[in-house]
Every structure is written in C-alpha cells, then in structure tokens.
Amino acid sequence: MAETAFVSCGGTGAPQGRRREVVVGGKRVKTVDVHAHCAVPAAMALMGRKVEAEALLQSSMPARIQAMDAQGIDVEALSINPYWYGADRDIAQKLIQIQNEALAEICGAAPDRFVAFASVALQHPDLAAEQLEQGVKRYGLRGAGLGGSVEGRELSDPAFHPFWAKAEQLGVLVFIHPQGTAELEKTGRLAGNGLLTNTIGNPLETTIALSHLIFEGTLDRFPGLKICAAHGGGYLPSYAARSDAVQTTFPQRMKGTLAKRPTEYLRQLYFDSIVFTPEALRHLAVEAGPAQIVMGTDYPFPWTSTSVDHILGTPGLSDADRIAMLGGTAQTLLKIP
Ligand SMILES: [Zn+2]
C-alpha cells in the first residue's frame, strides 16, 4: 500500500548526522544503491589519468557514508567507470589488479555498507573473464562493471563471448554504465549547451548497447546472464515497442530468429531507478516488471539525492514492489546478507 510507505518512512531525510532507516509496510528495509561511483588514483596513474572529484576517493568515505545515512542508503555497490579499454594487456592486467584489490579493501573496511563490482579489461576478453573470476572468488567482489562499448566495439561482438560465458557461469551481476557516444562527439552534434555528451549521449550509448545484445542474439546465447543497465536502461524502455515493430515492418532486415520478441528481453534485464519522475518509474516497471528495477543514485554526481523517496512516492506500486526496488532484488543479485 502506497500510504503505509509514505507514513512509515519517516519524512524525506534524516536529521543532521542521523542514519535514516527506511520502513515499508512496518518493515525495516535494507536499501541498496547499485549505481555508485568511486576511483582508485594509483590505477588511474598508469593511464596518466587524474581523479575528477575528490568524493570518489577512499579518503572521502566518511562523507560518503554521511550522504548514505542522510538519504537512507544502507549499502552501496561501488563501480568504476572504465577508462582503460585502450590499455595493452600488461598495463590492463596491472591496473585491474590494483583496482580490484583497492575495491576489496574499501569493502573490507565497512562490509555492512559496501560491496563492489570488479573492474575488468574487456578489450582482452579472456583476461577479463579471469579478472572477473578472481575478483569474485579471491576478492569477494559481486559482479563486474562494464562500459557501454569497448573502443568502438559493441558488447555483443562475438569476441566478448568468453567474458559473457564466465559471467553467466558465475551467476554474477554485470552492471553496464555508459560513457557517452564517442563516435557522435567527433561530429560535434553533441556540442553546445546542456552537456549533451552526457545528458543524452550516456542514455543513447546504453540504448545502443542493449539493443545489440538483444538483436545480435547475445542474450539468447547466454540466457542466464544477469545484466543491469544504468539510468533506467537509457531510452530503450521508453520506446521499446519499436524494437518489436521492426520485426514485422522490415522482416528482411532480421537475420536469424530471436528466441522471443525484443521487448520480452526487457523482462530479464535489470535497470536502475535513475529516471527522475514517478511516471518514468511507473512506465519502466510496466515495461520491465517491478522486480527488474534496482535503486541507483549515481553518487557522487548529484543527478539525484532522493532515490529512496522516488521509489516510496511513485503511485501504483505495492509494498512488495517497493521493497524489491529499494533493496530486495539487489540484495539477492549481489549476495548481500
Ligand atoms: Zn553513473
């Protein structure tokens, strides 16, 4: 019942320094944020890169925990946006090793507040598969974080099958986070006001990545894959039916057959909740199913600080839906006790 959720959640934020506890239907819910960024400077240095925001650093963990407490986030699943897809094998090996060890250390320092996605060098697919396995088995990481493409190659490229096979075999969640559409940036079409490289470039990249995973049959080939797409899956769930319509409008442009209608794949993918309005979240829940939505914040980038209230305040969801979105589904996917 929506009403129970409203009255029992205790307002829109915790008083200064207090940890907000989220309650739905009289039950304390463990909330999980699947979309939280961090950075490891020692690894970035190998690529001559500098950290873009201090809040990404391990040294800023107290401030991060304070923000989590205020927003009612119990656990963050940390990930690192790939910047190493151009690295050769040796550098990539070293960089990922440093990074995954650092992630394990961060999580180890506050195991009740943090889990993390392993970083992997997807440009070397066999190495990426090893890094994922090691990340999960040796470092206790809970899945992998990927970009939306790899130096111009689509995630559906058969070259990446060894990685997908490993992710499926391990049964871990793969979080796909876009990094703009570099190919469009070159043309200048995303220049000008509005940070379009990010504002629309990021969701567009996710839309393209997911569409290829569906249409190229990657999701048929690896039906056990657990994939979570950032920013509500970009534009794909908003205009999903067009992906079904093409099958009948231009059947000659469909090579081979898919196991099901394109829109049905949305019901096996996971999506974070960063879609800003109750109407957008309602629509995503209709297209994908409420059990496929997991909460995201994009911390420390201030796109939203009200992810909990967004889920609590979206009309038409049941208590069970809200509990699943706030943390229940992510708890299962990320093996959070
Ligand atoms: Zn993000």
How high is the pLDDT of residue 313?
97
Cα 138 to middle of ligand 1, angstroms? 26
How high is the pLDDT of residue 16?
61
Cα 296 to middle of ligand 1, angstroms? 9
How high is the pLDDT of residue 85?
98
How high is the pLDDT of residue 242?
97
Cα 253 to middle of ligand 1, angstroms? 34
Element (H, E) at 96: helix 89-109
Cα 273 to middle of ligand 1, angstroms? 12
How high is the pLDDT of residue 255?
86
Which residues of the chain carry a pLDDT beneath 50?
Answer: 1-13
CA angle, 233 then 306 then 109, to 5°? 85
How high is the pLDDT of residue 253?
92
Give 165's Cβ-side CA count (13 Å radius). 10
Tell me whether strands 293-294 and 226-229 are parallel, antiparallel or unpaired. Answer: unpaired
Residue 64 near residue 21 (C-beta atoms within 8 A) = no
Cα 298 to middle of ligand 1, angstroms? 4
Per-residue model confidence as pLDDT tens digits over 80-93? 999 999 999 999 99
Cα 8 to middle of ligand 1, angstroms? 30
Q: Measured between alpha carbons, how far is 150 from 111 in angstroms, rounded to an integer? A: 31
DSSP line for 231-271: GGGTTTGGGTHHHHHHHHHSGGG--S--SS-GGGGGGTSEE
Give residues whose Cβ lies within 5 Å of ion ligand 1.
298
Q: Note the pTM of the prediction, 2 decimals.
A: 0.94
Per-residue model confidence as pLDDT tens digits over 164-177? 999 999 999 999 99
Residue 127 near residue 93 (C-beta atoms within 8 A) = yes
